[in-house]
Structure 1
Amino acid sequence: MGATEQPVAGERVEQVELNAKLRNGSVLMALAGVGFIGYGIVFLILNFVGGGFELGVNHLNGMTPAELDPTVAYYISHLHVATAAFIISTGIAVTALSWYGVRQRLRWAWATAVVTAVVGLAIALPMHYTGGFAHDWVTHLGPIYLAVIVFVVGVVLAHQGMQTT
């Protein structure tokens, strides 16, 4: 379309729809990132004040953290803090990339947010299905799965909204 040509009504409607998809998608992606941050914060807090090991895990083969060798318990605590830190930092990255980059139609920001979340989830989630310890599926993984669903819907909407007319 030339510099003096105006878009026809159908093209304007399509552009408005794409802009709404981009806006809604990027907001959902950022909201999921905030969900990741919240999950990591809960993970961190439960390490220090919770009665179990983490969200949805109250014992390991009948043993609570207090019943473990203190060095082993401290090592598990150390791993929980590190895990929480990476969950929180991933959430911060996803939120910032989505809010500031995806909304500006920066494809690299969209791709980086997607890769960041997918890599973390693809590495962390399969271990939960190997049967190594008992956990309450709903409280342990439910919040992350909810955030992932919100994220995926946002990713699809934002991708559609990035399309040009």
Structure 2
Amino acid sequence: MSRIAHHRPVAFAVPGSLRLGAALMALAGLAFVGYAVIFFVRNFTGAFLELGIGPGEVDVGRSEIRAFSPDLYNYVSHLHIAVSGFIAAAGLATASLAWFGVRRGELWAYVTAIVVPVVGLVVALPAHYPYGFATLGHLGPIYLATAIFVAGALVALGPLLKARR
């Protein structure tokens, strides 16, 4: 039987800036989860449309969509539910990677914690602009969470790279 060696980073005292950076990254991940919860709840309320999307962006609401086509209404509703699930999953993954990996100085966790939201944002954000859905009320909370995340990632990067040397 062969043994598989597990690589562990060299132990080092965790700098306060690494803890702070990881905490900001985790907080932003939890903010993504919060946004997903709002997204999910709005699907089942009279609002139906996403946060920050109103009559200026979509000229019909829940009842008009349902009256026009119950099947279309069900389809849009199922998309709201699915997207909220994926936003929450990405936020939870990001928060967990930051709190349990980045905080311990794990470079792989840092890279993965960055890749997860970046992939989601790179895919999702561009579609908001040509259709006029890039309102501050809609994307503002995501931009705020992203700014907090980027700040945390930048704060954590120095101590992570220093520990690798």
Runs of 4+ in structure 1 off by over 6 angstroms are none
Q: Match of 1:145? A: 143
Written as runs of structure 1 = structure 2, the 5 A alignment for 1:103-142 is 103-130=103-130, 132=131, 134-135=132-133, 137-142=135-140
Q: Match of 1:64? A: 61
Check whether the contact 1:28–1:150 (CA below 8 A) recurs between aligned residues.
yes
CA distance in 1, matches of 2:117, 2:60: 33
Number of corresponding residues: 148
What secondary structure, in the 3-state scheme, does the structure 1 residue paired with 2:123 have? helix
Largest Rg, 1 or 2: 1
Check whether the contact 1:30–1:95 (CA below 8 A) recurs between aligned residues.
yes
CA distance in 2, matches of 1:94, 1:153: 14
Q: Match of 1:55? A: 51
Q: Which among 16, 34, 37 is matched to residue 33 of structure 2?
A: 37
CA distance in 2, matches of 1:105, 1:126: 33
Check whether the contact 1:58–1:135 (CA below 8 A) recurs between aligned residues.
no
Query: TM-score if structure 2 supplies the norm length?
Result: 0.84
What secondary structure, in the 3-state scheme, does the structure 2 residue paired with 1:125 have? helix
Check whether the contact 1:26–1:155 (CA below 8 A) recurs between aligned residues.
yes
What letter corresponds to residue 75 of structure 2 in structure 1? Y
What secondary structure, in the 3-state scheme, does the structure 2 residue paired with 1:49 have? coil
Check whether the contact 1:26–1:98 (CA below 8 A) recurs between aligned residues.
yes
- Give the superposition deviation at 1:78: 0.4
- Give the superposition deviation at 1:66: 1.0
Task: String of CA shifts for 1:58-106, please: whole Å, max 9, x gaps.
Answer: 2464211211211111100100000000000001000000000001100
Q: Match of 1:9? A: none
Unaligned runs of 5+ in 1: 1-14
RMSD across aligned positions (CA): 1.8
Q: Match of 1:19? A: 15
Task: String of CA shifts for 1:39-60, please: whole Å, max 9, x gaps.
Answer: 0000000000142411111246
Q: Match of 1:28? A: 24
- Give the superposition deviation at 1:20: 1.7
